[in-house]
Amino acid sequence: MSQPNILLIMTDQQRWDALGCVTDWMQTPNMDRIASEGVRFSQCITNSPVCVPTRRTMASGLYPHNTGVWFNQNTTLDPDAPNWMRAIRDAGYRTSLFGKTHLNSGHKGDLRNVEHVLRAQGIDDINETVGPRACARTLSNMTEEWDRRGQWEAYRVDYAERFSNMAYVVRPSTLPIDLYYDTWVGQKSSDYLEAYDRNQPWLCWVSFGGPHEPWDTPAPFSTAYDPSSMPEPLGFEDGGTGPRGGLHDLLGNWSNLTDEEIAAMRANYAGNVTLIDEQIGRLFEVIEKRGEWDNTVVVLVSDHGEMNGDYGLIYKEVFLNSAARVPMLWRGPGIEGDRVCDSPVEWFDVGPTLAEYAGAELDFRQFAKPLQPCLSDTNARVRDEALCEYRYEMMVTDEKWKMAVNQQGEPYLLFDLENDPCESRNLAGQGDYRYVETELKLRMFDRVLQAQ
């Protein structure tokens, strides 16, 4: 078999359950197609429940405790350091990027000023954007088109008003749908693949800015879901009697959210996912028209989730499933379809898995693992547990237990996932579970020691 083409689809802030193949009220036929033709990983955990730290882990194969990037901060991935993107390019691929990377700072308000850095990191053809928040102040090909068409100033005014008044306001974007960031990224990547005429396999990384807040999905997707039909938010009973941690600092921050506001956010968020799904479908049509579908590896993954009112919270930054558990779907040549793997995996495992499909060797220090064993046999395991880190705190989880420790290494969250999959009752500090905490701490610290 010749080297397969590779389509890496990345969303921003998509919950693990925001898929039609997981949640029956979601409409994602094209994402579901990936699952039906391949493998869905039901227990994929992000390496950090916030953008910059986890995107650094994806690019480098290193954990936050290795990179020192524990927060959303200005940072640049070392262009001289080896990575899987450059390894795939060196294996003979033409690599391209459309959308958000959040890998490199220093662009001084114009992303095009750091394109040379992305090229050094392994990307040949670049059309980079930023996330919805930074679009109000950062130049790119996309915002230049907004400005040329007289749309950027209205976007800025709308954005400023949202965050000066009520950050979680739900109303359609001021942008026409063809300029909305997810539509724009989808169209540019589709145009690129349609015109691709090089005699070499391609890796196309399509990185959508949504369904990241604000809740500004444009019509008609803004009304695709009825808020009254949205599921109730998850609740939390803090039975833990032990130390406090990051989650406790956030609980109550959004206690003024009403049931109606949460339902409106959930419906708008679902509409954004469906909008992205439609763009993915157009990409699939282009690949099929090119006659390359049977020889294309497709992976869909997201950097972290969105609380969307669960436990009275919005955004991310916590180790609960709504923020830390993400979708991961694979299909491609040699992958049998309609299967689910329940083994714990981590989102940065995407990199070495793609490298293996490309025939690229990763001969440098990194801790992500190729998932080919699980893609061949969904009962196989490449990990016994998944590790997640944020703000000097850590979380470890397997199919039965989840535990998080605070900055002092003290357990402050413990969930029995078999009997409490919705993470509604915190068992941390209860005497009957001390042995569980001890075992999980040993496993967590062993993982950290191995990843040094």
In tens, the pLDDT along 179-208 reads 999 999 999 999 999 999 999 999 999 999
Region label for 106, one of left (φ > 0), alpha (ψ between -120 and 50) or beta (otherwise): left
Confidence of residue 107 (pLDDT cuts 50, 70, 90): confident
Q: Is the pLDDT of residue 100 over 80?
A: yes
For the segment 437-446, what is each residue's pLDDT rounded down to a tens digit? 999 999 999 9
At residue 447, the pLDDT reads 93
Average pLDDT over residues 340-366: 97
Average pLDDT over residues 328-336: 97
Confidence of residue 239 (pLDDT cuts 50, 70, 90): low
Confidence of residue 303 (pLDDT cuts 50, 70, 90): very high
Is 431 a domain residue? no
- State the average pLDDT for the chain: 95
How many domains, the chain?
Answer: 1
Cα dist from 389 to 53, 71, 245, 404, whole Å: 9, 10, 13, 9
Are the C-beta atoms of 126 and 142 separated by less than 8 Å? no
Percentage of the chain with pLDDT > 70?
A: 99
Is 450 a domain residue? no
Is 244 a domain residue? no
Q: How far is CA 83 from the centre of its chain?
A: 19
Q: Is the pLDDT of residue 237 over 90?
A: no
Q: Transcribe 375-421 into DSSP letters.
A: HH-TT--S-SSEEEEETTEEEEE-SSEEEEE-TTS-EEEEEETTT-T
For the segment 154-170, what is each residue's pLDDT rounded down to a tens digit? 999 999 999 888 889 99
Is 452 a domain residue? no
For the segment 44-82, what is each residue's pLDDT rounded down to a tens digit? 999 999 999 999 999 999 999 999 999 988 888 899 999
Is 442 a domain residue? no
At residue 163, the pLDDT reads 86
Average pLDDT over residues 130-137: 92
Confidence of residue 240 (pLDDT cuts 50, 70, 90): low
Q: Is the pLDDT of residue 23 over 60?
A: yes
Tell me the CATH number at 91. Answer: 3.40.720.10
At residue 1, the pLDDT reads 53
Is 283 a domain residue? yes
Cα dist from 210 to 130, 206, 213, whole Å: 11, 12, 7
Average pLDDT over residues 240-254: 84
For the segment 405-444, what is each residue's pLDDT rounded down to a tens digit? 999 999 999 999 999 999 999 999 888 899 999 999 999 9
More confident residue, 268 or 451: 268
Are the C-beta atoms of 320 and 260 separated by less than 8 Å? no
Are the C-beta atoms of 184 and 210 separated by less than 8 Å? no
Is 15 a domain residue? yes
At residue 293, the pLDDT reads 98
Helix (H) or strand (E) holding 205: strand 202-211
- Listed residue (262, 311, 344, 309) closest to 413, CA to CA: 311
At residue 108, the pLDDT reads 85
Is 323 a domain residue? yes
Q: Is the pLDDT of residue 15 over 80?
A: yes
Average pLDDT over residues 297-325: 96
At residue 254, the pLDDT reads 81
Range of the domain at 156: 5-236+252-383
